């Protein structure tokens, strides 16, 4: 019996490195330019770049925008588009994505429900993603500085032949600080922890990222905390 237990423990620890999660260190950069269109309408132009240690440098870029319509105080509907490119060791095919979202603010708490549609050159099927997010902003002092924490989940309701697998795919947690750089410019600096679940025998992955985000409001309004990525 002791010999069997010893053998079982040896096999268990030998297998552990194969199933352990992978880890990666990254930097996420984003610039938002907010342009008012009318009293309740605005467009936000977005540029995103992500750098990864495991992927050998810049591995993902995103360019696009979203049109927002404020339907009530603290409630905004949005519809947007992004072109997503993959680079270096990330060999994914470039995608086109449509997005719809509802953003609602209740005091210090902001919620967002976003739905993505992914259009992939590998097939005609559309990959859907449902992304609920909640964020808490806590003002520090009277100069607009705030600390924040957010959680976002990714649930994929369908699978596709080109590679999307349905189910609860990942979660993102961010903690950081929002800093006003002027009346129309704000920056956010934070730590992002992203956990991709290991599914269908694949290894889980945890990403540790420094996030830097700059928001410019060219309409003269305040560039306060946002819930962008």
Express each pLDDT in 122-181 by its tens digit: 888 999 999 999 999 999 987 889 999 999 999 999 999 998 999 999 999 999 999 999
pLDDT tens track for 174-215: 999 999 998 899 999 999 999 999 877 778 999 999 999 999
pLDDT confidence band for 6 (50 / 70 / 90): low
227 close to 211: Cβ distance less than 8 angstroms: no
| Contact residues for 228 (Cβ-Cβ < 8 A; gap 6+) | 30, 32, 44, 46, 213, 215
How many Cβ atoms sit within 10 Å of the Cβ of residue 98? 15
Decide: pTM greater than 0.75.
yes
Half-sphere exposure of 62 (CA within 13 A, CB side): 22
123-126: long-range contacts (C-beta < 8 A, 24 or more apart)?
A: 123/160, 123/161, 123/162, 125/158, 125/160, 125/161, 125/162, 126/160
21 close to 198: Cβ distance less than 8 angstroms: yes
């Amino acid at each position: 019996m002791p010999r069997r237990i010893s053998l079982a423990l040896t096999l268990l620890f030998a297998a552990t490195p194969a199933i352990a999660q992978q880890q990666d260190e990254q930097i996420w950069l984003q610039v938002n330019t907010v342009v008012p269109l009318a009293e309740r309408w605005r467009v936000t132009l977005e540029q995103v770049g992500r750098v990864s240690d495991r992927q050998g440098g810049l591995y993902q870029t995103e360019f696009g925008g979203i049109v927002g319509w404020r339907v009530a105080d603290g409630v905004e509907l949005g519809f947007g588009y992004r072109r997503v490119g993959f680079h270096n060791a990330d060999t994914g095919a470039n995608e086109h994505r449509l997005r719809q979202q509802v953003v609602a603010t209740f005091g210090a708490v902001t919620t967002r429900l976003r739905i993505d549609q992914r259009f992939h050159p590998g097939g005609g099927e559309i990959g859907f993603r449902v992304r609920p997010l909640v964020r808490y902003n806590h003002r520090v002092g009277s100069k607009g500085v705030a600390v924040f924490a957010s959680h976002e989940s990714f649930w994929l309701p369908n699978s596709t032949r080109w590679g999307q697998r349905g189910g609860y795919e990942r979660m993102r947690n961010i903690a950081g600080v929002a800093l006003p750089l002027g009346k129309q410019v704000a920056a956010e600096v934070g730590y992002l922890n992203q956990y991709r679940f290991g599914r269908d025998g694949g290894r889980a992955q945890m990403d540790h990222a420094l996030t830097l985000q700059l928001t410019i409001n060219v309409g003269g309004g305040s560039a306060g905390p946002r819930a962008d990525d």
